[in-house]
Structure 1
Amino acid sequence: MKTRSLVTASTLLFLSSLIFCREKVLQVKVSNPSRFARQNEMISLRWSEILKELPSLGSKDIVVIDTRTKGKVLSQSNGDDLLFQTNFAAKETKSFVIKYGSNGDTKPQSRVDGRFVEPRQDYAWENDRIAFRMYGPALAAEVNNGIDVWTKRVRYLIVEKWYKGEEDTGKSKVSYHIDHGEGADFFSVGKSLGAGGSGIWYNNRVYQPGVFSSQRTICNGPLRVTFELTYNTWLVEGKQLIETKRISLDAGQHLNRIEVTFTSPIPGDTILIACGLVKRKNTLLSRGNNNPWIGLWGQTAEDSVNGSLGTGVVLLKSTFIGMNEDKDQHLIIGRAKVGETFTYYAGAGWTRSGDFAGSDEWNAYLESYCQRLQQPLRIKLAVQK
């Protein structure tokens, strides 16, 4: 009887401590330091930092609560990070709570998607604003490593549907080069860098690696899609290079985060990376005065009914060295080292999506994006009972 009492007491002590643990929550206070509003801002918390504050939390049984509205906030566990989004007014501070709870059995509707598409061997990705693709081995003779743009008029995902319509035959075929009410692929890339592709800048010319040779999806929604492309070994003036490109697109944004890493037998060499925007008819080039960005704005296609399209590239101030151009594209150039990651941002925006009325708004978006990078959100964590 004495042994049984001890066991019972130990069990009760364990259960009560577990209940006590589960009553703790993690408060997250997030401040916007900018003097401008920030929409669809991604808040990224390292799981290592979360577990350091509250070791009992796990990624599968937590919810994020907005303390003002008391409502659940859509979140994504992204390997090492917990992601969720919100909007900020200028200089606004918001509070959230991370705690044990269930998001229900229903899978949340994703606002992003990325996929390797057979038989074309493209990698295509999108969010609720815009879509992109890069070409794989099947089209190696016709294209290079440029980024293609698909313009969207709708907030739902369309990539899978558009590919199916294009591949169907007979009366079922629906070309994605024609706008049927959702948008279309009006963009022409060819062998250029397209809407923010990159290459090596050496002796006043751009060297490109060709199409990607392998791909892998790292995460796919509901708030962020991330994937990685690897290219075959290529030569730049006799030097061997292997490129890996990791691309992330967040819901509600128009620019991709692009992380480029080159490896070679001689690590540590300084290299110059050129990021480009393919030249288009009837477009105007703009560039930042104090911040490193370039933007191209003009007619989307021959028919003016298809509105206007902006493309743009943003670099970090720490890597930026200058701007240039060749016969095919406008270029913004940064400095990197072999074996280290070079990060930049590139994408597009369309008038018919309802997000940009004209070039002034597109240029303001690129300028504010630079400022956002220079003024990261301020995040504080604290455990509450």
Structure 2
Amino acid sequence: DKLWTSRNWASHRILATGGDTARFEVDYAPWPVDLVRRVSERRSFALPMGSHFTRMVSTLTSDTAEPLVVGIGIAKKRGGQRVVRDAKTGRLTVHEAVDPAHGAMSVTVAADPAQVRGFAEDADNYLLLLAVTPGRPFAYYTGYGWDRGLDIASAADWDALVARTRFDFSPR
């Protein structure tokens, strides 16, 4: 029940820089989990032009074949936040309180609902918990909107955009 995290990436590869989607991949060096297990990760990122969402595909490796519960998080901020947890759709959304001088951000993590095992939080993060198998890739998305941007004027606008977005969770 402790959050065991990787450190900064150990290596990277730029896969595509032009066209409709920028793509890159990073590898994280092994880190300890529960002091009896070591886990490492390869994560690919796809940033499609004109989208609020980044698609990520992660493959975790481990020195044991036992399944893992992975927490994908959104950082807590001061000033109040409204958190929406929806296991049925596989989404965790955090809406910041509106700052009159700077506006507000809304952030969503979306994952395959079949992998969702619940939600948690620690002092610094709200977490979407996923069941994953070492060696088997899994896809998820993160995205955000700013209420002073061109197409998001409120938390309700962000929620509507997230609701109409069709996420592809195939690990292709």
Task: Determine which structure has more spread, i.e. the larger CA radius of gyration.
Answer: 1
Q: Are the aligned partners of 2:69 and 2:129 in contact in 1 as well (CA < 8 Å)? A: yes
User: Who is 1:373 aligned against?
Assistant: 167
Instruction: Map 1:327-338; keep pairs closer than 5 Å.
Output: 327-338=123-134
CA deviations 1:312-351 (Å, max 9, x no partner) are 1001122112111111111111111001112111121112
Distance 2:95 2:58 in 1: 26
Distance 2:146 2:93 in 1: 13
Distance 1:358 1:216 in 2: 36
Equivalent pairs, count: 167
The one-letter amino acid of 1:222's match is G
User: Who is 2:11 aligned against?
Assistant: 214
Instruction: Map 1:296-335; keep pairs closer than 5 Å.
Output: 296-299=94-97, 304-335=100-131
Q: What's the CA shift for 1:221?
A: 2.1
The one-letter amino acid of 2:140's match is Y
Q: Are the aligned partners of 2:87 and 2:118 in contact in 1 as well (CA < 8 Å)? A: no
Distance 1:310 1:252 in 2: 17
Gaps of 5+ in 1: 1-203, 375-385
Distance 1:320 1:365 in 2: 21
User: Who is 2:75 aligned against?
Assistant: 278
2:157 matched to 1:361?
yes
Q: What's the CA shift for 1:263?
A: 1.2
Distance 1:289 1:319 in 2: 9
2:52 matched to 1:254?
yes
CA RMSD, 1 decimal: 1.9
Higher RCO (Cα < 8 Å, 6 or more apart): 2
CA deviations 1:98-118 (Å, max 9, x no partner) are xxxxxxxxxxxxxxxxxxxxx
TM-score normalized with structure 2 length: 0.89
Residues 289 and 261 (structure 1), Cα distance of their counterparts in 2 relative to 1, 3 Å cut: closer
User: Who is 1:245 aligned against?
Assistant: 43
TM-score normalized with structure 1 length: 0.41
Distance 1:224 1:271 in 2: 30
The one-letter amino acid of 1:290's match is K
The sequence identity of aligned pairs, in percent, is 24
Q: Are the aligned partners of 1:295 and 1:366 in contact in 2 as well (CA < 8 Å)? A: no
User: Where is the strand percentage greater, Structure 1 or Structure 2?
Assistant: 2
Residues 368 and 298 (structure 1), Cα distance of their counterparts in 2 relative to 1, 3 Å cut: same
Distance 1:360 1:347 in 2: 15
